[in-house]
Structure 1
Amino acid sequence: MNDRLSTLRLFVRAARIGNFSGAARELGLSQPSASRLIAALEEEVGAALFNRTTRAVTLTETGAAYLVRVEAILAALDEADHEARGTGELRGLLRVGTSSSFALRQIIPRLPAFLSRHAALKIELVTNDRCPDLVTESIDVAFQCGALPDSRAIARKIMELPRILVASPDYLRERGVPTMPTDLAHHSMIIGPAHSSPTFSFRKEGHVTSVRVESQVAITISEGVIASAVAGLGIAASSENSLQAKLEAGQLVRMLADWDFGSIAVNALFVSGKTVRPATRAFADFLVRELRPPRRALAQLSELPESVSERPNQ
């Protein structure tokens, strides 16, 4: 790895994750080799790009400006290579961030169909039940269900999943079946990652009913919420999509079906100001087509400009 282009890719990764050793590992280099390449780049540029300490490296003012230009050049080169091939074939590494639940239920089952069309592309799923840091983790696109984090990422809502209430037959036999939203105040609720408020709101015929609920169990992953409901720990709220298999198997029963309990938004997140790579665009559009129920999709990601620079999510 001794050409200028490879060195620039090393520079970008080191800048994004804040150390040379991590960038070196990702690119199959030793840490000393990475340090020498960066030093040679700085000498060639004629300016210091990094401030170095024993714990981390940070960009100098010159380095920050250089990063913006270099990322745009590398993305443009990827785009040019993609167009020159003229086959629609995608190459390189695509890093996709999402929760483990969304990866297991929605993304992984669909990967064979996508990768069969792009044999030269590699996909790395960065699964975490918190929203990833797109910059430091070098995420090309993240898929977030529910509330958005307070970040500088650009968010594009791609669909909404109807949210419903469920419980196990055993729980309902023991505690009774709620027939009105207000009945939930007397039940045990299982709080999941999509609910940050103890108040649930329901709509019917133009009227809104809100109820404050009590939770004995709170879980940070959606799969845990579903498993807890099946185990009889209480009433759970999740997307109809994620609960379908348990409902069909009779392990869970839906309640208050004639009340609108809202929906869970699914957003695609991109780094603000960063050029969207062809592989990123293609994969995001593929998932939009695969995931959206009829007439529920809210955006086609192919409509995104090449540089995502609109107002970020606040």
Structure 2
Amino acid sequence: MDIVSALKTYLRVVETGSFSAAAVDLGLTQPAVSRQVSALEAHFSSRFLHRTTNALALTAEGERMIPLALKVIEAVDALGETADREGAAASGKVRLSVPAPLGLYLSDRLPALLDAHPRLQLELIFRGEPSDLVAEAIDLEVRLGDAGSSGLICRRIGWTTAFLVASPDYLKRRGAPRSPEDLPGHDCMCYDRGGNGRSWRFSNGADDIAVRVAPRLVANNPVAVHRAALMGGGLAILSHIFVNDDIEAGRLTNVMPGFPPLRLPINVVYPSRRNLPLRVRTVLDFMIDVVRQDALMASAG
């Protein structure tokens, strides 16, 4: 039995939740996938999966095997890279989880990365809330603000910049708020990143100011909020990635510039610094370079 191949198959079964879906991803037959997992269980004299006709469930031993299997695969990948460092090329799939604004910003630039690394594959996951990196086999995740689990490696790569905006039509009808205390009298629209979109936070240069809003519109996709703001739906806090061009063109107005929305650190988290595969390092370096090229994300000032 090729134990490394069996471990990779097992992880893909866990990720997809079925033998048949894993078989499609791996280009194998469903019986071949089942045989590899059964052989792995026999090798370690443990059952990793409870099998029923309709579902799979991890056993306690199966859960413990996930981080161990990832370490083995990372070590084998690192050995391959070390064996031929000069001729090494990034190859394989990288699963990258990012908040939607940054994901859209990256997507314009990803073709250049993929052209430079023909054997690299990238799965881009738009997600605002933290993931279980190990269980979901996510290689890199961008988190804004608190990076979460202390068991993860965290690298700060930049800072968010957002603006409180509204269309000229809305401001003509309702007037512009002068301070955060005026916001309860306005129509507010919230981009909700996993339950944290309804408390707006601002800074006056010395203090942080939090305002609880009762939004007229809530969406878990910033594109929807952006479009509604352009149509005069109300006030919204949106990333500069969405609104810079609109502000310059006069389609949206930067409201309360003396109280800008609080900036958050942009962190990249990943399970382990040790033996980080070349494919993952390549994507991480690409993200760092892209963020540093944007003046509003590169600086904390």
Under a length normalisation based on structure 2, what TM-score does the superposition of the two structures give? 0.83
Structure 2 residue identity aligned to 1:119? P
Q: How does 1:133-144 map to 2 (within 5 A)?
A: 133-144=132-143
Shift of 1:291: 1.2
Q: TM-score, normalised by structure 1?
A: 0.80
> Corresponding residue for 1:74?
73
Shift of 1:255: 1.2
Task: Work out whether residues 66 and 134 of structure 2, in 8 Å CA contact, stay in contact via their aligned partners in 1.
Answer: no
1:149-180 deviations in Å (ceiling 9; x for gaps): 78965543321112221100100111112223
- Find out whether 1:242 has 2:234 as its counterpart: no
CA contact (8 A) 2:95 2:122 kept: yes
Q: In structure 2, how many angstroms separate the alpha carbons of the residues matched to 1:148 and 1:220?
A: 20
Equivalent AA in structure 2 for residue 84 of structure 1: A
Q: Give the 5 Å matches for 1:16-95.
A: 16-43=15-42, 45-54=43-52, 55-61=55-61, 63-64=62-63, 66-85=65-84, 86-95=86-95
The separation in 1 between residues aligned to 2:133 and 2:95, in whole angstroms, is 10
Identity %, equivalent residues: 29
Equivalence for 1:170: 169
Aligned-partner SS, 1:81: helix
Alignment-mate amino acid for residue 24 of structure 2: R
Cα distance, 1:56 vs structure 2: 0.8
- Give the root-mean-square deviation of aligned CA atoms: 3.1
What is the DSSP-based 3-state SS (H/G/I as helix, E as strand, rest coil) of the residue aligned with 2:116? coil
User: 1:135: how far off?
Assistant: 3.0
Is 2:208–2:262's contact at 8 Å kept on the other side of the alignment?
no
CA–CA separation in structure 1 for the residues paired with 2:158 and 2:152: 18
C-alpha distance in 2 between matches for 1:38 and 1:165? 52
Q: CA deviation at 1:35?
A: 1.1
Q: CA deviation at 1:192?
A: 1.2
Paired residues, number: 295
SS of the residue corresponding to residue 108 of structure 2 reads helix
How far 1:13 moved relative to its partner? Answer: 2.2
- The answer to whether the 8 A contact 2:160-2:296 is kept is no
Q: Residues 127 and 159 of structure 1: is their aligned pair in 2 closer, same or farther, counting only changes over 3 Å?
A: same
Q: 1:30 to 1:128 in 2, by over 3 A?
A: farther
My pick for the range that moved more, 11-20 or 111-120, is 11-20
**Matched AA of 2:30:** Q
Partners in 2 of 1:91 and 1:161 — Cα distance? 30
Q: 1:80 to 1:228 in 2, by over 3 A?
A: same
Q: Which moved more, 1:116-125 or 1:273-282?
A: 273-282
Give the match for residue 306 of structure 1.
Answer: none
* CA drift at 1:93: 1.4
Does the 8 Å CA contact 2:156/2:266 hold for their aligned counterparts? yes
Q: Report what 1:310 is aligned to.
A: none
